[in-house]
């Protein structure tokens, strides 16, 4: 009897699944290879300090586990993101601790067919904190200012911005999912100047991770913070109070809003304000739709 008669050639046989030991061996080998590249300086960092290798090898797996397993995140509308070229992704901000920015960045990278990174624009406070500043730069963040935003957009990047700023992140739980003012619309001017489309994104779930019950203003002023939060678990449980509650997250990317037709009106504050208001209203409506889709904040 030939080998073919006994059930086919070895190439036709189903592959033997990796054994647990093999998986760990592969992980250890990959980890050692990563360390060798880091020690040898075999990696690139761009002019903003972004380190793609470190982001993809270290930070992305941690964030992936957080948004998939802990927050059970569902994502909609990925087809509205540009396959290539510039785009300004504008989202609602909330949650006392700005986990929504990091989660959005990780979700976009995993969901996008081209595995594109989201370059986040962050508040000045982020870059005044020693460890946090370095971490933000490594993850691709930069200052929330028009010159940096425009440089990234001209370079064809996807740029993420949260125009509510600390007004959104630090609002009380009683005002959850009510978008705050979008400021003077600087993000709109940056998009118009570069011709980049604006992609509104609605995030539901972050409000319940650290529900803000109160703000100890005197302590916040002493520490030079925008607010000092009191949540159901912090500061009562100490370090354990920093563990986010396992809320159910929904993220929806809305259809892009083109900006090329406003090129001649970039210095007209009324045009800029109206476009910013259109983006805000688009996000607010999407938030309401997602809340109807998610009746239980902590369900599956």
| pLDDT computed for residue 33 by the predictor | 65
Instruction: Indicate the SS3 state at residue 257.
Output: strand
Give the tokens for residue 234. Answer: 């912090």
Mean pLDDT by 10 residues, the chain (300 residues): 40 50 64 65 79 92 96 97 96 93 96 96 86 89 91 96 93 95 87 96 97 94 92 92 96 97 92 94 97 92
Which residues contact residue 188 at a Cβ distance below 8 angstroms, ignoring those fewer than 6 apart?
198, 259, 272, 275, 276, 279
Walk me through the domains of the chain, giving residue ranges and CATH numbers. 68-293 (3.40.1130)
**pLDDT value for 23:** 62
| pLDDT tens by residue, 118-170 | 999 998 888 888 888 888 999 999 988 899 999 999 999 999 999 999 899 99
- What pLDDT is recorded for position 25? 67
Q: What pLDDT shows up at residue 150?
A: 95
Write out pLDDT tens, residues 275-288. 999 999 999 999 99
- pLDDT at position 8: 42
**Contact assessment for residue 92 and residue 287, using Cβ atoms and an 8 Å cutoff:** yes
What pLDDT was estimated at residue 130?
A: 82
Closest CA to 33 of 55, 52, 57: 57
DSSP state string for 77-137? -GGGS-SSS-EEEEE---SSS-HHHHHHHHHHHHHSTT-PPEEEEE-GGGGGSHHHHHHHH
Question: Strand 250-253 vs strand 74-76: parallel, antiparallel, or unpaired?
Answer: parallel
Report helix angle 146-154 to 186-194, nearest 10. 30
pLDDT at 3: 40
Q: What angle do CA 291, 292, 295 make, to 5 degrees?
A: 80
Rg of the chain over CA atoms, in angstroms? 22
Is the distance from CB of 75 to CB of 67 less than 8 angstroms? no
Q: Which two tokens stand for residue 218?
A: 């005197």
Q: How many Cα neighbours within 13 Å face the side chain of 118?
A: 28
Please choose, from the candidates 208, 192, 195, 203, the residue with its C-alpha nearest in 3D space to the C-alpha of residue 253.
Answer: 203
- Angstrom CA distances, 178 to 64, 138, 171, 296, stand at 27, 32, 9, 18
Of 148, 143, 157, 155, whose CA–CA distance to 112 is shortest? 157
Q: What is the per-residue pLDDT for 51?
A: 92
What is the C-alpha separation between 272 and 204, in angstroms, rounded?
A: 26
DSSP string covering 171-225, please? Answer: S-GGGTT-----TT-HHHHHHHHHTPPEEEEEEESGGGTS---EE-HHHHHHHT-
Angle between helix axes 269-293 and 186-194 (nearest 10 degrees) is: 110
């Amino acid at each position: 009897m030939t080998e073919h008669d006994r059930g086919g050639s070895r190439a036709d046989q189903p592959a033997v699944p990796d054994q647990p030991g093999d998986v760990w061996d592969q992980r250890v080998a990959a980890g050692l290879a990563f360390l060798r590249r880091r020690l040898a300086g075999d990696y690139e960092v761009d002019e903003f300090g972004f380190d793609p290798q470190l982001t993809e090898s270290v930070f992305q797996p941690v964030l992936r586990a957080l948004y998939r397993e802990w927050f059970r995140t569902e994502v909609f509308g990925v087809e509205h993101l540009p396959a290539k070229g510039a785009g300004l992704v504008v989202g609602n901000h909330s949650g006392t601790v700005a986990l929504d920015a990091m989660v959005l960045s990780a979700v976009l990278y995993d969901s996008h067919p081209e595995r594109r990174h989201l370059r986040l624009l962050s508040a000045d406070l982020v870059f005044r904190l020693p460890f946090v500043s370095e971490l933000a730069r490594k993850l691709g963040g930069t200052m929330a200012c028009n010159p940096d935003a425009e440089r990234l957009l001209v370079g064809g990047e996807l740029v993420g911005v949260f125009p509510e700023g600390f007004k959104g992140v630090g609002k009380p739980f009683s005002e959850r999912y009510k978008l705050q003012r979008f400021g003077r619309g600087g993000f709109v001017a940056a998009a118009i100047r570069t011709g980049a489309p604006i992609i509104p994104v609605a995030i539901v779930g972050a409000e319940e991770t650290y529900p803000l019950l109160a703000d100890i203003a005197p302590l916040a002023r002493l520490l030079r913070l925008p607010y000092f939060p009191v949540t159901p678990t912090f500061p009562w449980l100490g370090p354990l109070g920093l563990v986010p509650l396992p809320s159910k997250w929904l993220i929806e990317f809305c259809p892009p809003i083109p900006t090329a037709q406003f090129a001649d009106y970039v210095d007209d504050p009324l045009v800029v304000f109206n476009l910013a208001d259109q983006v805000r209203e688009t996000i607010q409506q999407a938030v309401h739709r997602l809340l109807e889709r998610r009746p239980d904040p902590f369900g599956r």
